[in-house]
Amino acid sequence: MGLGLGLSFPPLVLAGQNAVPFSMMGSTTSLNQFSRSVGGTIGVAIMGSILTRRLNDELASGLPTRVQNEAPPQLLDGLRNPQILLDDGVLGQMRAGFDAIFAADGASLFTATIDSMKVALATSISEIFLIGMGLMAVGFGLSFFLREIPLRTANVPVPTEASPAAASAVNVPQRAGAPTPLRPAPEAPAADQTRTGSAAS
């Protein structure tokens, strides 16, 4: 999942920047980052709520019947926290509590309880991944309906078309290789014209 997200972020940012004018590129990039942060926060909160709800349901149906009926509320509340599976110290304390409550059956009930917690956690996480895959499939399908925009070949502002009057008032530099427009011949000086008239008379 991390590899897929890492490879998808740069093309998405580039596509967003390419779809807007050059003057809005900064705003588009910041909006992309903001949407990603907000979406990640909301998504983690929603997925975490679904995971907790699903885990409680699985634990309620998977714990041994004797544990559900005879274990004190403090012990049952501790079993709803899947992080105890990673803490050997807490597991040791919980096993001692099982031995004190269930006597000879404490070890077997403790093992069955831990196994049910692992199964419940795996089932809950699998459901979260299935929901995530469904959302990604929907997003992937919607991407086919996006309008294709060719990538820009230069990261420069695109000049806007000016009106004919404005274009005639501004001297536009000629591009390289363009023919130089012909200039009109200068008028003859007045003295030359007078001399030419005298000679003719």
**Among 49, 79, 56, 57, which residue's Cα sits nearest to residue 67?**
79
Domain for residue 133, yes or no?
yes
Structure-token match 């409680």, residue found: 56
Domain that includes residue 124, residue range = 44-145
d(CA 7, CA 185): 65
d(CA 152, CA 18): 7
CA 79 to chain centre: 35
Phi, psi (5° rounding) for residue 179?
-70, 140
How many structural domains are present in the chain? Answer: 1
Provide the residue-wise pLDDT of the chain in tens; the chain has 201 residues.
666 677 778 888 888 888 888 888 889 889 988 998 998 899 899 999 998 888 888 888 888 888 888 888 888 888 888 888 888 888 888 888 888 888 888 888 989 989 998 999 999 999 999 998 998 899 889 888 888 888 877 766 655 554 454 444 444 455 555 555 555 555 555 555 545 454 444
Domain for residue 103, yes or no?
yes
Q: Which helix (H) or strand (E) holds 2?
A: helix 2-18
**CB-hemisphere CA count at 13 Å for 65?**
0
d(CA 83, CA 89): 12
Domain for residue 188, yes or no?
no
Domain for residue 173, yes or no?
no
